[in-house]
Amino acid sequence: MKILVDVRKCVGQARCAEISPELFKLDDNGFNVTAVIQVPPGLEEQAREGANACPERVITIVEDETMKDSTQA
Ligand code: SF4
């Protein structure tokens, strides 16, 4: 799993780092400046919660396995 952060749209609310400081590193001004974060085993749930906590919705979770399309009937 990896995390993609659209760092240009981050507004520095630090919600992601509050949820998971191990995964989301902020700069001195509170902005998330790491565009691609590899998620170590065991931190997947924290990654999802951190992404969900971002009010700007600039964090995307990319699963490792082939993406399963649940929209297919
Ligand atoms: S929660 Fe979103 S807006 Fe806030 S620091 Fe993290 S990525 Fe940026």
- Residue closest by Cα to atom 4 of ligand 1: 13
Nearest partner of 37 among 28, 46, 71, judged by Cα: 46
Q: What is the largest CA-CA distance in the chain?
A: 47
Choice between 13 and 53, residue whose per-residue pLDDT is larger: 53
- Determine the topology of domain 2-62 in CATH: Alpha-Beta Plaits (3.30.70)
**CB 44 near ligand 1, within 6 Å:** no
Q: Which ligand 1 atom sits closest to the C-alpha of 17?
A: 6
**CB 58 near ligand 1, within 6 Å:** yes
The beta strands (E) that lie in the chain are given as 2-5, 36-38, 59-62
Choice between 73 and 7, residue whose per-residue pLDDT is larger: 7
User: Does the pLDDT value for residue 44 go beyond 80?
Assistant: yes
User: Does the pLDDT value for residue 67 go beyond 80?
Assistant: no
Structural domain spans, the chain: 2-62
Q: What pTM, to 2 d.p., does this model score?
A: 0.85
Pocket test residue of 10, 19, 24 for ligand 1, highest count of atoms within 8 A of CB: 10
In whole numbers, what is the pLDDT of the chain averaged over residues?
92
Report the pLDDT value the prediction gives residue 64, as an integer from 0 to 100. 86
